[in-house]
Amino acid sequence: MPRGITPRQPSRSGRHDKVSSKPLPAKVRAKRVAPVLKKVGKIAAPIAPRKAAAKEPTAKTAAATRKGYNPLAPERVNEILNRLDQRYPAATCALHHNSAWELLVATILSAQCTDVRVNMVTPVLFQKYPTIEHFAALQPEELEPDIRSTGFFRNKSKSVVGAARKLLSDFGGQVPRTMDELLQIPGVARKTANVVLGTWFKIADGVVVDTHVQRISRRLELTKNDDPQKIEQDLMKVIPRDKWIVFAHQIILHGRALCIARKPKCADCPLENLCHAADKTWSTVEIHKSALASG
Ligand code: SF4
């Protein structure tokens, strides 16, 4: 570097300093601006406090209004149950039957089939095979033509004949009245066992979770699960035990009448202002994105 020439020092104006992204407080800004305005002959007007603009509802504010909302709060759940009681006071199982065995068979046949169809098939079936022994003596293939119209008739035939044989071999020809025993019967899972226990024996061991209960429990935010067993556990936690049986019957009726899978009839629904389902067709309340029929 040639002698006598010194390098330029950085300006002290602050323009090279790291600019803070944080705006200065209004008071500090006014203090700094006022002398400058005076110098250039302008009178610094007092800075009026800014009027707060009306806030548009945003996702954030919507979330804030939801803060404290608990879909599982006992008051909310009780209100749902009360309204279901009023709307469906005489809810019961729609499958026609005259014994625990007939109900067991009808429930096995109702998988992936309407109750109306099952009710058309079972009177003829029980006339043809009036006892458990008659079913146990059949080969599954022999039963197939009689239940063909209910769908999945090969598996259902195996289940019904297998169930009859199991009852004769292990349970003295009687339908057992405990969950553990019922689950040992071919073709019987928790849903079927709960139907038989609740409807025939009036024993509340769990909650029937069929497609309607699954869909509507999610819409009503009583569960976030998709798996029927987990949904049942969730419902058992929030619904009083003495309501387990009737709740499922009521929700199944509700699912058929109003809360149908596609285009639920929300404008006619007694639960409307308690329901935040994302797929509602009409709503007077905030919609919750996660309250969907399926996850
Ligand atoms: S308001 Fe609509 S989505 Fe909610 S429970 Fe009623 S019918 Fe179903």
Q: What is the pLDDT of residue 35?
A: 52
Summarize pLDDT for 136-145 with one digit per residue, the tens: 999 999 999 9
Summarize pLDDT for 83-95 with one digit per residue, the tens: 999 999 999 999 9
Residues 23 and 30: their CA atoms lie apart, in Å, by 13
Ligand 1 nearest atom to the CA of residue 264, by list position: 7
Summarize pLDDT for 246-282 with one digit per residue, the tens: 999 999 999 999 999 999 999 999 999 999 999 999 9
| Ligand 1 pocket mutation pick from 88, 258, 292 by most atoms within 8 angstroms of CB | 258
Annotated catalytic, 191?
Answer: yes
Segment 220-232 mean pLDDT? 97
Cβ(272) – ligand 1 distance below 6 Å: yes
Residues 257 and 73: their CA atoms lie apart, in Å, by 26
Q: What is the pLDDT of residue 68?
A: 85
Write down the catalytic residue from 191, 205, 234, 243. 191
| Ligand 1 pocket mutation pick from 84, 262, 275 by most atoms within 8 angstroms of CB | 275
Annotated catalytic, 115?
Answer: no
The token pair that represents 12 in the structure block = 């002290």
Segment 36-56 mean pLDDT? 40
Contact 164, 136 (CB under 8 A): yes
Q: What angle do CA 205, 210, 177 make, to 5 degrees?
A: 30
Contact 109, 121 (CB under 8 A): yes
Summarize pLDDT for 91-129 with one digit per residue, the tens: 999 999 999 999 999 999 999 999 999 999 999 999 999
Cβ(251) – ligand 1 distance below 6 Å: no
Give the N- to C-terminal CA distance of the chain in Å, as an integer.
72
49 has pLDDT over 60: no
